[in-house]
Chains A and B, each alone.
Chain A
């Protein structure tokens, strides 16, 4: 079976319903059996402006976004003008018949004649269903699932819009030239067993729920808000409390209180909000209170570009909080990894009693993919605290142990009294200025870094053992790096990739060999200073000679990497 990839961009103003079309089309494609990678680009406004919902689709496995547009569904004239230069050679535009398009192959759809304005989104879905050669019954099922509950009348109107647009397109294109039409037709495919469509943030939320998150506090901030909102949607059902705090400082301190009494706790935020939380991070380190902090990155400094993407808060997270204490930092590279890593984060936070971070960004937060359903019935939840009957009296919250981890009693469930202190403290939790105790306590806390280090997820390596070129990346850029490597390999260049889904602690033995054995090493990250490459150098002494960096607010794509490699 030939592989074919199409990049479909739906563009228009905020409020025109482009996300609705996008989601319906994404569901239709997945239901038919195709793969998708969604990229959402939007402005920090509720109405107007220019937004896009991009679906890259294929009959073969797909892991990365694409910039060149094959099919542009333009909901207004501005969309055509703005994306003219991104159109691929054979690209095709679908617009409303009122929009003027010169020189580019265009299907001008008289939406107004085909349906009422309320159902124009569905009509657009009908047009695309025909153009891509999809089974018409599939979008109909998708519509039924989405709108079926709204009653027979609404469903009938939806079906009518879908059918009439499909029929109109079929008639209109009956005499169109074969080559144009074939360019957009997706190869036929077998329907697969049902798959979930999730974006990164939804996968983080569901992973957290499966791990047993019980308390989530947050202050709204794009692009992290939807993690807390998704958990809140299921809070009553899953026995979780989600609290919108008065500010980020309150959010992390609430999580401290919740976690201290046993609730596995989560805070979600973005760079600016996280900056406010950093004293709380230090508090988690000192009081040895578990907390998972999910940071959805966006370009800074300050308010920056609120709705765009970047990976520039690695150093902020890595060094956040005054003083020294151990931490772990994860950076998932796919939607599946978001789910798994959310779980690992809760397990580690509980096991090592401190802050654990998950770094994501706007690109992955909003990027929908099709994933096989997680087998949640087989997954264990975090078990907070130690059995109080196993602990001798008087209880010492910070008892010195071999691995630095002290038995954690949850207050209120036994006669043991639990004392936690942000001051330096004795084993019993009460504050001290005994400087020898100070040293013992620092050593005890830092000992936990050994445990965290022993559980590090090694970076994933793909490709030839002795490549001409090794591409090094972390977090959300993984898919684009994989695809760039594949494309270069098919051109006859030996290219491998090394992806870090955990960026702290780093274990040099896991990867230094790969760096040394490659003829050339290039690091790829979405920031201006190459923060991760610098971290590798600090930890291993290995200086990555070439860096591909992107900081225009858009995700790193395979095309971007290939273009930069040529320079």
Chain B
């Protein structure tokens, strides 16, 4: 049994009031409630304010390049399936720079949990538009406002029939904990998009803005109904649904590899006799 204390306390370099704080707290709680110990976990992140999160808890961590957390997580999970692998990064990292990896991870259905801190703006580089910024959103880099349509990660994920697609909001810590717990328990790729304010660079989508819009899905909502899920996933505006939007139980990618049934690759020796037989094919 692990406790919150096992996951440590660190001083975080975020702005006071940043949505990342409650997310970090809720994630730690989810880990405890999932009965996971720090050494069983591998957090993989990219670059951005959200990507610093794994530095503020106790776990194995690979903090890699901007946009590339998912392939690192995929390689790690395919080499040691016994690790619980969690990707934690922001909207720019996962949906912009890493867009192709996001699509590929859904297609593979790799058993990795992807936590996306989505504040619709770039924080680390001081306030440029992100792939989820709303049209017309004015920044120093986009003085005339954002010209492109925002990326809808949940609609894309549901359209691709991803294994587990959820949204949460930094204003509801318990809800985040619940979603993250379910995502970790899900066997296969799981996306939790967590909307949150950026107190420094997003003066439009503020805490109050989200609070007024985020609405928990009703108790009788059926996440296995794909068509209903598509409708829910594209809902964004006066109302932003939060909760488990879509669930599609499929065997995770790792199960395609018989070799992984024998455990982590590094623990498997080189079969010299098999190699000798292989060489004989070239006679």
Which residues of A are interface residues toward B (Cβ below 8 A)? 145, 194-198, 202, 206, 209-210, 212, 214-215, 217, 234-241, 243, 245-247, 249-251, 253-265, 279-280, 283, 287, 373-374, 376-377, 381, 384-385, 410-423, 429-431
Contact = CB atoms under 8 A, between A and B. Distances in A.
A412 B264 contact: yes
B271 A260 contact: no
Contact of B71 (A249, A287, A414, A421): A249
A411 B52 CA distance: 19
A423 B266 CA distance: 27
A214 B61 contact: no
20 contacts: A206-B279, A209-B270, A209-B278, A239-B259, A241-B78, A243-B78, A246-B103, A254-B72, A257-B79, A258-B75, A258-B265, A262-B265, A263-B75, A263-B266, A376-B276, A413-B264, A417-B39, A419-B61, A419-B63, A420-B63
Interface string B46-89: 01000010010011111111001011111111111011000000
Contacts of A413: 264
B60 A412 contact: yes
A422 B48 CA distance: 12
Given A214-B268, A261-B266, A280 B282 contact: no
B262 interface: yes
Contact of B272 (A262, A263, A377, A412): A377
A146 to B, nearest CB: 11
Contacts of B1: none
B219 interface: no
B65 A246 contact: no
Contacts of A246: 100-101, 103-104
B183 interface: no
Nearest to A429: B61
B166 interface: no
B250 to A, nearest CB: 18
B82 A262 contact: no
Given A258-B75, A262-B265, A422-B65, A376 B279 contact: yes
A412 B266 CA distance: 12
B65 A253 contact: yes
B72 to A, nearest CB: 4
Contacts of A384: 266
A256 B60 contact: no
Given A250-B104, A264-B266, A283-B64, 6 more contacts: A212-B270, A215-B79, A256-B72, A385-B266, A411-B60, A417-B38
A494 B63 CA distance: 57
A208 B82 CA distance: 25
Contacts of A247: 100
B103 to A, nearest CB: 7
Contacts of B5: none
Given A263-B79, A412-B80, A430-B55, A241 B65 contact: no
B220 interface: no
Contacts of A279: 65
A280 B68 contact: yes
